[in-house]
Amino acid sequence: MEIEGKIIYNLGETSGTSKAGRAWKKREYVLETQDSYPKKVHFDFFGERADQYPLEVGDVIRLSFDIDSREYNGRWFTSISAWKAEKIDGTSAPGATQQPANQGFNKPAPPAAPDFGSDETDDLPF
C-alpha cells in the first residue's frame, strides 16, 4: 500500500538484542496526509531499512508499507511497517510539473468581443 504526506514527528530510534542474540533497531515516525481532512499515521522502519531511509521532520514523502494486526491477551494491535520512502518535491515527483510562482497573473487577455454597433439599415426588432 502507499500513502503520501509530510513527516511531522521523528520518534527516534529503538534498538536491542533478540533472544537469539542478534542486534535489531527500528525508527518510528508520524506522517500527516495533506488531504482536506488530514490523517496522522504512525509507522516504523525495522532492521536495515532504518538506516536506508533517513527521514526528517518536514519531509514530504510517498510511503510504501504493509499493515499487520496481531492479538495479545485478548486485545488486537495494528502496526504499519514501512519498506520504502520516496521524498517528493515539486521538481522530482513523477508526473509533477513545477508551476510558475505568478501563475494566473500573466495570462493573455481574452479576445475582444466583436463590435455589434448599431447599423442604421438593420431592421431586426431587437
Instruction: Please check whether residue 95 lies inside any domain of the structure.
Output: no
pLDDT value, residue 113 = 59
Cell 519531509 belongs to 59
> Tens digit of pLDDT for each residue in 7-66?
999 999 999 999 999 999 999 999 999 999 999 999 999 999 999 999 999 999 999 999
Mean pLDDT of 56-80: 96
Query: Smallest Cα–Cα separation from 61: which of 82, 81, 94, 88?
Result: 88
Instruction: Please check whether residue 75 lies inside any domain of the structure.
Output: yes
What domain range is 55 assigned to? 2-87
Domain count, the chain: 1
| 41 vs 79: CA distance, rounded Å | 10
pLDDT value, residue 92 = 40
Average pLDDT over all residues of the chain: 82
122: DSSP letter: -
Instruction: Give the CATH number for residue 82.
Output: 2.40.50.140
pTM over 0.95: no
Instruction: Please check whether residue 63 lies inside any domain of the structure.
Output: yes
Question: What are the grid coordinates assigned to 76, written together?
Answer: 488486537
| 34 vs 4: CA distance, rounded Å | 8
Instruction: Please check whether residue 106 lies inside any domain of the structure.
Output: no
Q: Which range is least confidently modeled, 53-57, 85-89, 98-102?
A: 98-102
CA 2, 89, 102 angle in degrees (round to 5)?
A: 130
CA distances from 15 to 29, 56, 98 (A): 15, 19, 40
Instruction: Please check whether residue 65 lies inside any domain of the structure.
Output: yes
pLDDT value, residue 89 = 77
Instruction: Please check whether residue 99 lies inside any domain of the structure.
Output: no
Instruction: Please check whether residue 117 lies inside any domain of the structure.
Output: no
Q: Please provide the DSSP assignment of 41-96 as one string.
A: EEEEEETTHHHHS---TT-EEEEEEEEEEEEETTEEEEEEEEEEEEE--TTTSTT-
Instruction: Please check whether residue 66 lies inside any domain of the structure.
Output: yes
Residue 106 has pLDDT above 70, yes or no: no
